[in-house]
Amino acid sequence: MRSVEENSPPEAGTESGVVSQTARDPHPPFTVLRPQGDPRILIICDHACNYVPPEYDNLGLPATEFHRHIAWDIGAADVTRALSDYLDAPAVLSGFSRLLIDPNRGSDDPTLVMKLSDGAIIPGNRHVSEAELSHRVTGFYQPYHDAIAERLRIARAAGIAPVLISVHSFTPVFHGHERPWHVGILWDRDARIAGPLIDALRRDPQLCVGDNAPYSGELVGDSMNRHGTNTGLAHVLIELRQDLIDTPEGARRWAKRLAGELQPILARQSAGPVGE
């Protein structure tokens, strides 16, 4: 199994540590932060990374495209790391670009391997054979999802029903439209975390909070559907606008804010019957 585990220092607000790279694989398909952290919480970051292995030759795209939102969720990994610190919670981060294969899609979703993304045609994805698709699934997609499932299995074996928190980010301008939201809370059928989190964030009149905006949380086969809806675990997806978290300071500020809002909600959740 290609993986990296790291345990960051316990102090809130510090760097979560340098990834201890293995000699075998400096770019594992996932990284686990704080594996010994609070098992009542699991944070995941589907679009943490913009890495594509060199043999893909940037999928035929100019390297500059990999700094854009089409390749990853800008700032989301930094928020995830800081949130993992503040909540002392384990986190699983993807180690590959969504342009290679998108872990936040069902395995039969037509956008699993994107041919076109926000105006950019992706030449290396135009003709993906069954064998190549299978290679991307077994080499990247599946190990990432297996890592999440394994963390949940460990918690449940200890009699704990963890809360899943998924961290994403969205581009401030999409198809020429400016997006007003600072943060969006996405959910499908389970409002146990999303409902109180939206209420808490909306207490700040300065903040524009999306309720299933800028995207809907009702995507069959996505990560929350797979690991949350289908397992019955309480879950929420948090989307942050990229211009607010594209610096380490901005990411940390938002992680701290989210941790402060989430802590009482998570405490109530773990005190209820669901955690038994």
Q: Which stretch binds Zn ion (CB under 5 A): 47-55, 156-164, 228-236, 250-258?
A: 47-55
E strand map for 3-131: 4-6, 30-33, 41-45, 91-94, 116-117, 120-121
Q: Which stretch binds Zn ion (CB under 5 A): 10-18, 109-117, 119-127, 165-173?
A: 165-173
Is 136 a residue that touches Zn ion (CB under 5 A)? no
* Cβ 14 vs Cβ 33: under 8 Å: no
**Residue 77 Cβ vs Zn ion, minimum distance, rounded to whole Å:** 11
**Of residues 203, 189, 184, the one with CA closest to residue 264:** 203
The pair of three-digit structure tokens given for residue 184, joined into one six-digit string: 């969006």
Q: Which stretch binds Zn ion (CB under 5 A): 43-51, 77-85, 117-125, 177-185?
A: 43-51
Is 73 a residue that touches Zn ion (CB under 5 A)? yes
Chosen residue from 40, 47, 81, 226 binding Zn ion by CB under 5 A:
47
Is 222 a residue that touches Zn ion (CB under 5 A)? no
Is 168 a residue that touches Zn ion (CB under 5 A)? yes
Q: Which stretch binds Zn ion (CB under 5 A): 31-39, 85-93, 162-170, 213-221?
A: 162-170
Q: Closest CB to Zn ion belongs to which residue?
A: 168
Q: For 239, which DSSP code?
A: E
Q: Which is nearer to Zn ion, 47 or 192 (CB)?
A: 47
Burial 56-90 (b: 16+ CB within 10 A, else e): bebbebeeebbebbbbbbbbbbbbbbbbbbbbebb
Distances from the Cα of 12 to the Cα of 83, 87, 114, 175, 200, angstroms = 9, 8, 37, 38, 22
Q: How many chain residues are in contact with Zn ion, going by CB under 5 A?
A: 3
Residue keyed to tokens 């030449």: 123
Q: Fill in the amino acid letter for 236.
A: V
Q: Which is nearer to Zn ion, 239 or 261 (CB)?
A: 239
Is 78 a residue that touches Zn ion (CB under 5 A)? no
- What is the binding site for Zn ion (CB under 5 A)? 47, 73, 168
